[in-house]
Each structure stands twice: as C-alpha cells, then as structure tokens.
C-alpha cells in the first residue's frame, strides 16, 4: 500500500509507477492463444533438458569415490529415497514409488530455482496449469493403488474408520470424500502455485518499485529505493528457502497420500 502512495506521489510529477499485475505472468513468445509457446513452457523444456543432462552425466561413470556432481545427485536421491519415501511409505513397498517421487522433487526444485537464477528468472510453477498437471499424476496414482489394493467398494468403505457410532458415519463419509477427492488435490496444486506466484510478484514489486523510485524520485525517494532494493535482496534469499521447501513439501505430501492408500486404515 505504501508503494501505491509513493507511486501516486511520484505520478504528480509525470509518468507514474505501475504496480506489477497478474498480467506479468502470461508471456507468449511465439504465436498467441491456447497453442502459444509461452515463457514458462520454454523454461520447463529447458529444465527437463538440464535435469536429464545432469543426471546422466553424473551417474554414467559412477565411481566408489564420487565426483562432486555424483555427490550432489546421490545426496538428492538418498534424501528422497530414505528421508521421504522410506520414512513415510514404509520399508515394505516404498521402492516402486521412489522414481515418481524423485522425478517430482527434482523437476519442481529446478523449476522453482529458475525463479531466481538470473538468465531465466521465471518460476514455471507460477502458471497454474503446470502444478495442476503434476497434481493430476499424484491424484491418479494414489487413487489407483488404493482401488487396486482393496477394490472400488472397499476403498470407499475404508474411508470411514471402524468403530464409530452409526449416526456419525454418513457425516464422516461426506467429509472424507471431500477431503480425498477435492481438498487434497486442490491444496496440493494451489500451495505450489500460490507460493511461487506470490513470491515472484513480491520480488517484482520490490525491484520495479526500487528502480522507479531511484530513477524518478527526489532525494527522499532515492533513499527509499535503496531500501527497496535491499529488501528485494533479502526476499530473494528467503525465496530460495521457500523454493526448496515447496519442492520438499510437494514430494512429502505426495508420499503421504500414497502411504495413506497403501495402509489398511485411513
């Protein structure tokens, strides 16, 4: 809000500061309309190529004494395999979900980090369609393994825990159906999208605001502009933390949902 006030003050002198809007996130590079090749699409393809190159290059000549790259890859893989998959899903059948979880983690992490890495600087996940696609994979997987394990009827029966008084069962059933089929995928996609979107908008606001105040403002506004740049620097560090955290949380929640479908009681 204070930036709005500053902007309106400055606009009295001409020009005026335009706060970044949601329109900043739609950037078609080639064509237009639904088939446009947009900036996030290019970033996503770039990230896939980069991940494939890095993973192949660091594991093709795997050695007992690892190189630096191999150490990074093994660290990330070990973290997902032991820290997420085995701890959450359990040691019995976690191994077949490790590829899915590792792919999700690396893809989201690299795409999130692209939000602050200079030549790219666009978090792919701030376009809602891409988190939705990732969530759809998780959604299909955890329902599929749940239904395959016990059958369709029993799957719905298992939604309600045993030993509840009869009158409360329909109520709990409705609540659990809403949780399983609506709330879970919705929050999974929106959490990733919302964090990346809000973070990028915040950085845009502080950097463009700082730039405007330094170039167009008086001496007081120039000092405030320097403060705005300092704030943008601090927020960039914070943003890197959030980017790691969101990749981890997405993987953790996917593992939790899969574990819920595999266990006997929900």
Partner 1 sequence: MTGNIAILGYGLSAIGPGVGIGLIFAAYINGVARQPEARGMLQSIAILGFALAEALAIFGLVLAFVFK
Q: Where do contacts with partner 1 occur on this chain (CB under 8 A)?
A: 1, 4-5, 22, 83-84, 87-88, 187, 190-191, 193-195, 197-198, 245, 248-249, 252-253, 256
User: What sign results for the dihedral spanned by CA atoms 226, 227, 229, 234?
Assistant: positive
Is the Cβ of residue 42 or residue 190 nearer to partner 1 in the bound state? 190
Smallest gap from Cβ 162 to partner 1, in A, equals 24
Is the Cβ of residue 191 or residue 266 nearer to partner 1 in the bound state? 191
Smallest gap from Cβ 191 to partner 1, in A, equals 5
The 3-state DSSP class for residue 28 equals: strand
Is the Cβ of residue 221 or residue 255 nearer to partner 1 in the bound state? 255
DSSP H helices in 29-89 = 39-59, 68-78, 87-89
CA distance 205 to 1: 11
Smallest gap from Cβ 186 to partner 1, in A, equals 8
Could you tell me which residues come within 8 angstroms of residue 20 by beta carbon, excluding any fewer than 6 positions away? 201, 204, 205, 208
Is the Cβ of residue 236 or residue 256 nearer to partner 1 in the bound state? 256
Smallest gap from Cβ 81 to partner 1, in A, equals 14
Smallest gap from Cβ 140 to partner 1, in A, equals 21
CA distance 78 to 94: 13
Q: Which of 263, 247, 262 is nearest to 83 (CA)?
A: 247
Distance of CA 206 to the CA centre of its chain: 22
Is the Cβ of residue 189 or residue 232 nearer to partner 1 in the bound state? 189
CA distance 234 to 227: 11
């Amino acid at each position: 809000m204070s930036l709005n006030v500053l902007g309106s003050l400055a606009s009295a002198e001409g020009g005026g500061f335009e706060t970044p809007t949601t329109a900043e996130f739609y950037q078609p590079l080639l064509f237009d309309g639904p088939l446009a090749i947009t900036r996030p699409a290019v970033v996503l393809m770039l990230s896939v190529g980069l991940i494939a190159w890095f993973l192949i290059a660091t594991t093709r000549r795997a050695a007992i004494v690892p190189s630096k790259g191999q150490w990074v890859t093994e660290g990330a893989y070990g973290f997902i395999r032991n820290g997420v998959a085995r701890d959450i899903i359990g040691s019995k059948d976690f191994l077949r979900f490790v590829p899915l979880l590792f792919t999700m983690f690396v893809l989201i992490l690299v795409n999130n980090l692209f939000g602050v890495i200079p030549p790219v600087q666009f978090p792919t996940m701030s376009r809602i369609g891409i988190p939705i696609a990732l969530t759809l994979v998780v959604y299909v997987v955890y329902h599929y393994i749940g239904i395959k394990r016990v059958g369709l009827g029993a799957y719905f029966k298992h939604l309600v825990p045993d030993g509840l008084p009869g009158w409360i069962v329909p109520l709990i059933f409705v609540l659990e159906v809403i949780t399983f089929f609506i709330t879970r995928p919705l929050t999974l996609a929106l959490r990733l999208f919302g964090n990346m979107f809000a973070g990028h908008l915040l950085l845009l606001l502080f950097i463009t605001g700082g730039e405007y105040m330094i170039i167009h403002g008086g001496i007081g506004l120039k000092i405030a502009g320097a403060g705005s740049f300092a704030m943008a620097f601090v927020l960039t560090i914070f943003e890197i933390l959030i980017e790691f955290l969101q990749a981890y949380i997405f993987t953790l929640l996917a593992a939790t949902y899969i574990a819920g479908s595999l266990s006997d009681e929900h």
